[in-house]
Structure 1
Amino acid sequence: PVVNDRDMIVWSLYGARAWPTVVLIDPNGKVVGAMSGEGIYEPFDRAIQELIAKHDPRGEIDRTPLQLKLERDKAPRGILEFPGKVLADERSGQLFIADSGHNRIVVVSLQDGALKEVIGSGEEGYRDGSFEEAQFRHPQGMAYDGKVLYVADTENHVIRRVDFARRQVTTVAGTGRQARYWPSGGPARETDLSSPWDLVLVGDTLYIAMAGIHQLWKLDLRRNVVEPYAGSGREARFDSYLPQAALAQPSGITTDGKRLYFADSESSSLRAADLNPNGQVETLVGGDLFDFGDIDGEGRRARLQHPLGVVYHEGSLYVADTYNNKIKRYDLATARIETFLGDGTAGLRDGDRPTFDEPGGVSIAGGKLYIADTNNHAIRVADLRTKRVETLTIRGLEKLRPPQALIRPDVIQVQAQRVLPGEVELVLNLSLPEGYKLNPLAPSRLRVQASPATAVDGLPKEGVVINALPLRTPLRVQTDGELLLDAEIYYCQSEKEALCYFKQLQWRIPLRVDASGARQVTAEYVLRP
């Protein structure tokens, strides 16, 4: 269960001073320990074992499973799931989307939103190989050199290389193990990394926002060497020379060719690091480590709240002010930051008064600002001149169904239906939510089987496209058996085909041949928004 502690009541009652804070409570309800930050799992594992050894002999541990249903299982699957970052490349006309919740990279055309590539099987894991075989674990930021895409495979703690000519994914940095402390760097494939969150390419050097150990790193792509670039590893907001400065979970990074600019999420600040290796780290927007808010104005007096994304464009930095549900613009010449898009409320509204829900990534191409609107499971597109926002419509959705490993079809067991032998009509009656329609850009389909196979004739081998509801299709019933229906339903809002959902349904319908039976077999279901 999740509590929205917006007034920080639980935070205060447990004496939390940083996030994440994990509290251990014994079976009698007594707080027996608490730790903050990362690297807490090993000591907590030992403490939990000690509690079990103490309380289990007394019969004080209740092992009855909790009957909880995940929120994600209560809602239909979106075509995208928690997209974390976007990268728009104007030269190639491509938009790269980190479909983080689906563990894959999606490539669409900037011109018309047509799907071009899906990279990764969608199954959560760590595996190099072809586009169809490769596995990621919640990938985030990307960088593109015109031929190769580099991906921050965040929860695998590695940097991946996507070769479009060979259609292969390989690992270029990291071991797959999370760095527990502050490694000094070394050969790229032999050095542990920790939660790389975003990337930016400058020449042959890939700069990495290494959120897990509060540093910026650099990967020399010619020498295959990776090492810290800025930050001591101490979590704080402390400006100084590159090695001595302290950062706090940098999660977005960009450049103007002279400096690196990064969203320092835990300190809710926007900061800069010189590309000159003898340079310094400077805070542009924000206060101390736990100072946050939603205040526009002069940089050091202004406040953000856990920004995750930043992109440089023509003298300005566009910032995904994530927890404020806004996009803000920082003018490098005036050192002022102002709200550019959003009113602070969480929502999904297009037009001249747009709303967002914790946007995590931003990128710019062709006068358009592309936004990974993470909690809306959507990509938004804003015109930089008019500030008008639209939700991106991806074309070719049938190739972009959620990964099979994540699909949990609803199984509907229908009572036995008595039918006449011979010709009958199968009627599929789906009730769509009010304001929704079948998606014309991705055909829904029904596949029909029988058990035993001889029980029903006339089954369409390729299935039936569902163009309208109810669907009616003829069958020929021979003997008693069971009808097995599998439906893949793509539906979207009537006025916004960009916001689409996917649902997989299965019906099991026993058939009994009877001289007094009906000429119709019915399957029904009510879809939820």
Structure 2
Amino acid sequence: MVDTLIQGASGSLVLNRLDQILYSWENGVLCSIKLQSGEKTMLMGSKVNTGDRDGTFSNARFHASSGQIEYLHESSALIVADTVNSKLRAIHLDDEIVTTCAGTGVPGSVDGPGSTAQFMSPVGFKVHKSKDGLRVYISDFGAGKIRMMTLPEKQVHTFAGSHKDSSPVDGPGTSAVFDSPHGMAICSYSSRLFVADPEAKRIRAVDTITREVTTIVGSEKIQTHPTCLDVIGRRGLYVSEPGRLYSFDMELKAVSTILQSGVQSTDGLALTARFRAFYCFTTAYDTLYVSESGHRNIRTVRKVQTPQGNCSMDLGRLKYASVKEVHESLYTTRKIAVNPKSKLLYFPSGHSIKKMALSGNSAVVIAGRESGESGDVDGTLKTARFTSPTAIKFGSSAYNVLYVGMAKKLKIVDLDLGVVNTVTGKQNSYDIRDGHALNASFHNIWDIATDYEKSHVILLDRNDHRIRIFNGHERSVTTLIGDGIAGHVDGPCTMARLNYPTSFELKEYRLYVADTSNSVIRSVDMKSKEITTLKVPSELKLSHPTALTYDRILCIFYISSQNATWVLNMKNNDTYMVGQNNASQFGSLGDMHIDEQDGGLYVTGPENGRIRKISTLNTISPTITQAPTAYPTSIPIPAETPREELTVSERLSFFVFFLSHVYPST
């Protein structure tokens, strides 16, 4: 269904999903639009007095013709491609000032520090958060190159392409040739950057690791000149041309037209609605926000569930294909941690930590002993002892450190050096105490989340109804939420109360908590330190939720409750059931994890010691089928898989990290 959201606004669009604010950038003027009310506010700029000037919102000026914009949650800022001025500029929303990120204002193609680097009409760009920090990929239209800028260093490099040419060439890095690189989209799970090359009538893909450039859509499927792109799920693209907007399935190599242009601008069903001209679009959950330059409108496109109105666009709905048992144990398996680089899954089992390949169905002990001798002993992986570890999480983006919760203690397992050490907590202490890591005590560590950037480890102290934070820099433990009394109180974290929470998930700066005995999901803003209860539709019968995870590619929550496992679309509160949580299907789930490579959902059943994978397929059809109820039961145990190796610098970095985080300074 197509509707007009607001009139008198157009240009480039970007959405602040958390605050539900749409930013429109047109002819040097920035506007904000509140999606709930449709209220439009002009924030800065002038259509008449254009130019090239930094400063406060009232004094800053841009050229009337500017390119793409992106929103940075970390700094509450907008990055703008000031095309004609050949600059990349930042609009700081909190401070209400404009600064130049890179570019001198003189057209050219010079790498180096942002203050001396030169661009030649930059149009599109994309910000990508990698393990090495923020990277900004820029389509330098006039130079025929893809440039990269590192943040916060602001160093500019030529990433791909050597010169502008009407005969594009694929190949590695600067040996590739672009004609007119324009709009961009990035697929975070596959590390591929997609670039519209409109004059060549192609869509190109750049591998951000190898820098290899390939053509994924050629002129045989493109009618005119593609300009704007966005990623759909794990294998699709939205593409806009002057006369139409369509989806492209990269696996099936199929094009499906969603919207078409016409003489008049009309709302209605997607098949009959018409646009004067497609300028730009952005996506959020199941909605397309389309900027229409002809009539200066911003319009919304939503999928509707009527036979006449189903849009032919893939909005990331799932069809469940199969359920496969990947591991069965005699012991409780409650939490899991996945290394997406080495494709290994780690989990507590009995009195040990085990690992297995995601592609296999066997597991081996890497630390402790699964049966027999338990204890609380630090040391090497072979000599260390655990007593029924309950929680596990990777402690760095290098995936070489595991944090393991063992009731009253937090331990660190170095997979490369092969050692286990206690980080904080006292095994025989029954009081709850904050303070220095070596003096702090816990009741029952049930789940772990890690904030790599701040060196924080967030701990769910279930039986004391608290959420605690271990600060790696200060080597201290503080209470974020709870006072030891069960309850259901929203507001400032210092006043809030939980009731036997069992699971949480950290996404951006929000912590989502399965507040089990209250039968609700709570949302914690880690910046403002405020907690609220999520409003969910009545169809989502949350009876004692025990596990949750968030698919950031499809923008949906998986929530396991006592009665069923559900999918929740946070944008429109659309829900549907994955399966019944009973003996014939899943049983009570303890943890869930998304494999971002293929969309598979790994679930644990602590009551029966099973780990299962629900295999999923992105489909254009919104049909949902129930998972089968028959599972394999026989699991062979082969030899141990080799551990992934680290470089010398990575080993040294971890050793320094380990010493500074575990042992107090003298």
TM-score normalised according to structure 2 size: 0.42
| Other-structure match for 2:168 | none
Instruction: Give per-residue Cα distances to partners, 1:331-353, cap 9 Å, x unaligned.
Output: 221245442x2224322xxxxxx
Matching residue within 427, 437, 441 for 1:192: 441
Conservation of the 8 A alpha-carbon contact between 1:139 and 1:152? yes
Matching residue within 302, 316, 319 for 2:559: 319
CA distance in 1 between partners of 2:545 and 2:632 (Å): 21
In structure 1, give the amino acid aligned to 2:496. A
Matching residue within 445, 448, 451 for 1:202: 451
| Other-structure match for 2:404 | 151
Matches within 5 A, 1:202-351: 202-203=451-452, 204-276=455-527, 278-284=528-534, 298=537, 302-314=540-552, 315-321=555-561, 323-324=562-563, 326-339=564-577, 341-347=578-584
Matches within 5 A, 1:112-511: 112-115=360-363, 117-122=365-370, 123-144=373-394, 145=396, 146-154=399-407, 157-180=408-431, 182-183=432-433, 185-203=434-452, 204-276=455-527, 278-284=528-534, 298=537, 302-314=540-552, 315-321=555-561, 323-324=562-563, 326-339=564-577, 341-347=578-584, 355-365=585-595, 366=597, 367-385=599-617, 388=627, 395-396=636-637
CA distance in 2 between partners of 1:370 and 1:392 (Å): 17
**Local SS of the residue matching 1:384:** strand
CA distance in 2 between partners of 1:268 and 1:236 (Å): 12
CA distance in 1 between partners of 2:515 and 2:529 (Å): 18
CA distance in 1 between partners of 2:633 and 2:357 (Å): 11
Instruction: Give per-residue Cα distances to partners, 1:276-331, cap 9 Å, x unaligned.
Output: 1x33111126xxxxxxxxxxx616x743233222212122221232x32x322222
Instruction: Give per-residue Cα distances to partners, 1:362-417, cap 9 Å, x unaligned.
Output: 111131111111222211100233775766986535779xxxxxxxxxxxxxxxxx
Report the CA distance shift for 1:298/1:257 in structure 2 as closer, same or farther (over 3 A). same
Larger relative contact order, structure 1 or 2 (CA cutoff 8 Å, min sep 6): 1
CA distance in 2 between partners of 1:217 and 1:337 (Å): 31
CA distance in 2 between partners of 1:392 and 1:267 (Å): 35
CA distance in 2 between partners of 1:392 and 1:201 (Å): 34
Conservation of the 8 A alpha-carbon contact between 2:579 and 2:627? no
CA distance in 2 between partners of 1:152 and 1:312 (Å): 22
Instruction: Give per-residue Cα distances to partners, 1:245-302, cap 9 Å, x unaligned.
Output: 11112211111112001111222221111111x33111126xxxxxxxxxxx616x74
CA distance in 1 between partners of 2:440 and 2:343 (Å): 34
In structure 1, give the amino acid aligned to 2:502. S
| Other-structure match for 1:105 | 353
Report the CA distance shift for 1:256/1:392 in structure 2 as closer, same or farther (over 3 A). farther
The Cα of 1:130 is off from its aligned counterpart by 2.0
In structure 2, give the amino acid aligned to 1:384. T
Conservation of the 8 A alpha-carbon contact between 1:194 and 1:210? yes
- More helix per residue: 1 or 2? 1
Conservation of the 8 A alpha-carbon contact between 2:540 and 2:566? no
Conservation of the 8 A alpha-carbon contact between 2:380 and 2:419? yes
The Cα of 1:357 is off from its aligned counterpart by 1.5
CA distance in 2 between partners of 1:201 and 1:392 (Å): 34
CA distance in 2 between partners of 1:140 and 1:338 (Å): 30
The Cα of 1:237 is off from its aligned counterpart by 1.3
CA distance in 1 between partners of 2:547 and 2:617 (Å): 20
**Local SS of the residue matching 2:517:** helix
Instruction: Give per-residue Cα distances to partners, 1:176-231, cap 9 Å, x unaligned.
Output: 13443x53x11112111110100111121111111021111111122211111122
Conservation of the 8 A alpha-carbon contact between 2:364 and 2:640? no
Report the CA distance shift for 1:394/1:222 in structure 2 as closer, same or farther (over 3 A). farther
In structure 2, give the amino acid aligned to 1:311. T
In structure 2, give the amino acid aligned to 1:303. K
CA distance in 2 between partners of 1:310 and 1:178 (Å): 30
**Local SS of the residue matching 2:428:** coil
CA distance in 2 between partners of 1:302 and 1:378 (Å): 25
**Local SS of the residue matching 1:232:** coil
The Cα of 1:117 is off from its aligned counterpart by 4.4
The Cα of 1:175 is off from its aligned counterpart by 1.2
Instruction: Give per-residue Cα distances to partners, 1:36-56, cap 9 Å, x unaligned.
Output: xxxxxxxxxxxxxxxxxxxxx
The Cα of 1:89 is off from its aligned counterpart by 2.5
Q: Percent identity?
A: 22
CA distance in 2 between partners of 1:223 and 1:191 (Å): 13
CA distance in 1 between partners of 2:342 and 2:640 (Å): 22
The runs of at least 4 consecutive aligned structure 1 residues that moved more than 4 Å come to 386-395, 397-400
CA distance in 2 between partners of 1:237 and 1:343 (Å): 27
Instruction: Give per-residue Cα distances to partners, 1:462-517, cap 9 Å, x unaligned.
Output: xxxxxxxxxxxxxxxxxxxxxxxxxxxxxxxxxxxxxxxxxxxxxxxxxxxxxxxx
Report the CA distance shift for 1:342/1:173 in structure 2 as closer, same or farther (over 3 A). same
Report the CA distance shift for 1:269/1:166 in structure 2 as closer, same or farther (over 3 A). same
Conservation of the 8 A alpha-carbon contact between 1:140 and 1:152? yes
TM-score normalised according to structure 1 size: 0.52
Aligned positions, number: 295
The Cα of 1:111 is off from its aligned counterpart by 2.5
Report the CA distance shift for 1:393/1:220 in structure 2 as closer, same or farther (over 3 A). farther
| Other-structure match for 2:307 | none
Unaligned runs of 5+ in 1: 1-77, 286-296, 348-354, 401-529
CA distance in 2 between partners of 1:207 and 1:244 (Å): 18
Report the CA distance shift for 1:393/1:197 in structure 2 as closer, same or farther (over 3 A). farther
Conservation of the 8 A alpha-carbon contact between 1:251 and 1:309? yes
CA distance in 1 between partners of 2:458 and 2:579 (Å): 30
In structure 2, give the amino acid aligned to 1:151. V
Conservation of the 8 A alpha-carbon contact between 2:410 and 2:423? yes
| Other-structure match for 2:34 | none
Report the CA distance shift for 1:308/1:149 in structure 2 as closer, same or farther (over 3 A). same
